Amino acid sequence: MCGESLVDSVIQQDKFIDIIRSYNKENDIIHLNIWSQLAENFQNKVEYPFILSGNKLDEESTLKVLYESNNLF
């Protein structure tokens, strides 16, 4: 994905996320969704690009889940 456009990168990321999802690797999916949401934010696809909330990830609910599971990376 290095050197690709953000649009192409997000398409590739979606493919990887689908593969990882099939293995039920929730922690890995969260990591991938963070980067995928960041790429969408860079494309100005969200109202507030400085917040990781959009189609791929909701920062507030994701942090809540991570805090409750004591899994803060």
Is 32 among the domain residues?
A: yes
Residue 53 near residue 41, CB atoms below 8 Å: no
For the chain, how many structural domains are there in total? 1
DSSP letter at 4 equals S
Read off the pTM. 0.83
Helical residues (DSSP H) of 1-73, grouped into ranges? 6-22, 26-42, 59-68
What is the pLDDT at residue 1?
64
Is 73 among the domain residues?
A: no
Is 28 among the domain residues?
A: yes
For residue 48, the Cα-to-chain-centroid distance in whole angstroms is 16
pLDDT one-digit tens code per residue, 12-71 = 999 999 999 999 888 889 989 999 999 999 999 899 999 999 999 999 999 888 888 887
Is 1 among the domain residues?
A: no
Is 18 among the domain residues?
A: yes
Is 20 among the domain residues?
A: yes
**Domain containing residue 28:** 6-68
Is 49 among the domain residues?
A: yes
